[in-house]
Amino acid sequence: MKDIRLSKIRLKFARTKEFLEASRDIGYEFTAPLKADGRIDVDAFHKPKASCRVHRFPKDEDQEDESGYRFGDHLFRVGEYVSLQEDEELMPYQVKDLEDVK
């Protein structure tokens, strides 16, 4: 059986026309298996799925841990940008940190 390497990924809200100052206080952190090219290894993702939850910060009092995100074919390398659907709108986030956890 192939050993699954997990990475802890931290995304921070990026600048937009509406928000010229990127916020260091808004973002997501999650753990997922990454392939050598920086994309999520979908086949390996299902095995440690309990470890692959998404957490949004800051966390609102009524907010549960996030789940069900679809990162598709995004490239997760420090400095790269990804778009996440929030309230019917795509919002830009930048990959700020990557850390091997296994």
Beta-bridge mates of residue 95? 11
**Which is nearest to 33 in space by CA: 54, 9, 11, 16?**
9
Whether residue 36 is predicted with pLDDT greater than 80 in this model: the reply is: yes
17 vs 63: which has the higher pLDDT: 17
C-alpha of 53 from chain center: 10
Cβ atoms 76, 38 nearer than 8 A: yes
Q: Is 5 exposed, middle or buried, given 0-12, 13-18 or 19+ CB atoms closer than 10 A?
A: middle
Global confidence as pTM = 0.78
- Amino acid symbol at 45: F
Beta-bridge mates of residue 98? 9
Whether residue 2 is predicted with pLDDT greater than 70 in this model: the reply is: no
Confidence at residue 3, expressed as pLDDT on a 0 to 100 scale: 64
* Per-residue pLDDT tens over the stretch 43-89: 887 776 667 778 888 865 445 445 446 676 789 999 999 988 877 78
* Per-residue pLDDT tens over the stretch 86-100: 777 888 899 999 999
- DSSP annotation of 39 reads S
* Per-residue pLDDT tens over the stretch 58-68: 865 445 445 44
Q: Over range 28-42, report the average pLDDT.
A: 89
